Amino acid sequence: MPKTVIFRCVSLSLQGGTVSAELLHYCQSLRSDVFPEGLQPDWLQIRGPVIHVQLPFPAAPALRALVKRDRMLSAYQWDIKHNVVPLPIERRPDLQGAEAKPLQRGVKNVIAIASGKGGVGKSAVTLGLANALSQLGARVGILDGDIYGPSLPTMLGNVDSKLTFTPNRKMLPVRSFGLEGNSLGYLSDPDDATIWRGPMASRALEQLFFDTQWSDLDYLFIDMPPGTGDLQLTLAQKLPVTAAVVVTTPQNIALADAQKGIRMFRKVGVPVIGIIENMSHYACSACGHEEAIFGEGGGVFLGDQHSVPVLGHWPLHVGLRRALDNGQDLNRVLDGDSILTTQQDTAQLLVANLWSLLHDEITPLVSSQPSQAKHANSKPSKE
Ligand SMILES: Nc1ncnc2c1ncn2[C@@H]1O[C@H](COP(=O)(O)OP(=O)(O)OP(=O)(O)O)[C@@H](O)[C@H]1O
C-alpha cells in the first residue's frame, strides 16, 4: 500500500481511537540493515499516541534512527524495550548430539569470536562488541579462550583479580565495566598456560566454560584461541555455540586464514553470522587523512565468497588501543568518539542477524544473501 494512503488510514483510525492494523502493516514495511524485514507486528503495541515496542534483541538506537527518518512515525512517542530471545534447542544441532552438554541455566546465546590469523584484533573486537551490547542494556559475559595469551584481565583493567568459588566449587566470574568475564589469567600464573598442549588446553577451556557460574546472560562471547587447528575444532564441537563471527584484517594473508575459520565452523554445523573487518583503515588524528594501511576490500570479498554479511569495518584507532592496553572503561575515555558508534552499529547488526536465525519466515541474512556492505564485489587489493 502506498505510504500516502496508509498515512490517511492511520490518521482516521487514530481519530476514532482504534488501533490501526494499517499502522502495524506500515511498520512492517520499514526497512533498514538492522530490520531487513521491518518491525514485526508482534513486537508492537499501540496505545493512543504511544507505540510500545518489545524487541527480541537490543537495538533501540537503530530503531530510533529508522523512526526519525519517517515523517509519520516520528509523530508518535516510542517506548522501546527488549527481551532477548535464545535460539531454541531444536534449531541448534550442536546441542542435540549425545556428547553435547547443555548450556548453563540462564545463558541465552553463546557467540564465538574467531580469527584464523593471530593479532588481527579478535580480543579487541570481542570486548568492543560486548561493551556495545552492554551499553544497549543487554547482560553480557566474555570467556577468554585465548589460553596462550589471556588478554581479558588487561582489557578489563583487573589483572590482579583472582577468581572466587561457590561452595560447590563453581567459578564466579570477575566483573568490570558492567561485564562478566572469566579467563585463565584470573586463575593461575598466565605463563603456565604456554606449556599446555592441544587436548589439555581444550579440556581447560571446556572447564572454564562449563564450571563458571555465569549470571543470567543474554549473550556470552567466547574469545576463541587464534587459529583453525585441532584445539579450535574441538572447542567449536564441544561448546554449545549458537553462532560464530569471524574477525579479519583486509590483507590477503589474514583472509586466507579467515576462510579456514569459516569452513571450520560450517564443518561442525555452527552458523557463521558475520565478518568484522578490523583495522580497515587509519584516519590521521592530526589531519584526518585516511589510509588503508592493510589494503582494502578484503572483508567484503571474503563475505561475498562465503555469502556471509560484513557487519562492520573498524578503523585502526589510537584511543581504542590505548584504552584496551591500559584497561580503561571505553565508554568513559572514548565518550563521544565515533568508534563507539561504529561498534554499536556492528553489535546491533550482529544480534539482529542472530535473531533472524530463529525465524523460518524471515529470510536469514546468514549464508543466503551476499554482503550488503559497501564496496561489494571488490577484490582485496594485493598486499
Ligand atoms: N581497531 C584497532 N585499533 C587500534 N588498536 C587495535 C585495534 N584492534 C586491535 N588493536 C590492538 O592490537 C593489539 C592486538 O589486538 P588483539 O589482542 O585484540 O588481537 P588478537 O587477534 O586477539 O591477538 P591474538 O591472536 O594474540 O589473540 C592490541 O594491542 C589491541 O589493543
Mean pLDDT of 200-220: 88
Same domain, 27 and 74: yes
Q: What DSSP line would sit under 304-322, residue for residue?
A: HHHT--EEEEEEE-HHHHH
Residue nearest to atom 13 of ligand 1 (CA): 121
Same domain, 117 and 232: yes
The confidence band for 199, taking pLDDT boundaries of 50, 70 and 90, is low
Q: Read off the CATH number of the domain in which 131 is found.
A: 3.40.50.300
Residues 137 and 188 in one domain: yes
Ligand 1 mutation target, pool 122, 290, 326, most atoms within 8 A of CB: 122
Domain identity same for 159 and 176 = yes
Q: Which residues constitute the domain of residue 26?
A: 3-82
pLDDT tens-place string over residues 122-151: 999 999 999 999 999 999 999 998 877 789
Q: Are 213 and 331 within one domain? A: yes
In a domain, 370, yes or no: no
How many angstroms separate the alpha carbon of residue 206 from the centre of ligand 1? 24
> Which one-letter DSSP state was computed for residue 20?
P
Task: Please tell me whether residues 38 and 157 are part of one structural domain.
Answer: no
Q: Whose CA is nearest to atom 11 of ligand 1?
A: 321
Ligand 1 cavity residues, CB under 6 Å? 115, 118-124, 146, 149, 151, 226, 278-279, 314, 316-317, 320-321, 324-325
- Is this prediction's ipTM beyond 0.95? yes
Q: Please indicate, yes or no, whether residues 167 and 57 belong to a single structural domain of this protein.
A: no
The residue to mutate among 123, 251, 277, having the most atoms of ligand 1 within 8 angstroms of its beta carbon, is 123
In this structure, the number of other CB atoms found within 10 A of the CB of residue 2 comes to 6
- Residue 14 sits in the same domain as residue 95: no
Please check whether residues 108 and 44 belong to one and the same domain. Answer: no
Cβ neighbors of 45 (< 8 A, separation 6 or more) are 51, 52, 53, 54
Tally of structural domains, the chain: 2
Which atom number of ligand 1 is nearest to the Cα of residue 324?
31
Flag whether 361 is in a domain.
Answer: no
Residue 377 lies in a domain: no
Taking only the tens place, the pLDDT of each residue in 1-41 is 444 334 434 443 444 344 578 888 899 998 999 999 899 98
Residue position matching grid coordinates 563471527 = 245
Ligand 1 atom closest to the Cα of residue 225 is: 27
pTM: 0.87
164 and 248 housed in the same domain: yes
118 marked as binding residue: yes
Q: Is 269 within the bounds of a domain?
A: yes
Q: Is residue 382 part of a domain?
A: no
Same domain assignment for residues 141 and 288: yes
CA distance 5 to 1: 7
